A = this chain, B = another copy of it.
């Protein structure tokens, strides 16, 4: 078992994450939408996890709530990666890990969903910064994502 604090994230990994995030953040709303559309391309049934998609009659790309939601998830994910080394642990803004854990528990998010999301995130970043993409950058983002997921999973229980 790894503890949430103190798990390795090297200076080099931090530099790769920061470098790519500096390019991506100018364009984060569009990238966030691409990221979510990729998740649903791979696993259409994941739409059932979002109330504003399940009950919606408009096409996915036109759903008024999808882009704002995707943007906030994408920003939070990338910023937690950027701050991981400095903070020494996973931190999220505009929410708490406890709240995030509770929501993911409530909607029945499974291991497979976290895995598909990781794949979609890495693909999105790869396509966003093709000129700086490398195996090392993939590993850096993958490690930051895994640490975020572990932090969320550790809080996945019914909210009290």
Contact = CB atoms under 8 A, between A and B. Distances in A.
A104 to B, nearest CB: 15
From A41, A45, A113, A115, name the one whose CB has the most chain B CB atoms within 10 angstroms.
A115
| Prevailing SS type, chain A contact patch | helix
Copies of this protein, total: 2
Interface string A33-47: 000000001111110
Interface in A88-114: 110-113
Given A112-B112, A112-B113, A116-B112, A42 B42 contact: yes
19 contacts: A41-B119, A42-B42, A42-B115, A42-B116, A42-B119, A43-B112, A43-B115, A43-B116, A43-B119, A44-B115, A45-B111, A45-B112, A45-B115, A46-B112, A110-B112, A112-B112, A112-B113, A112-B116, A116-B116
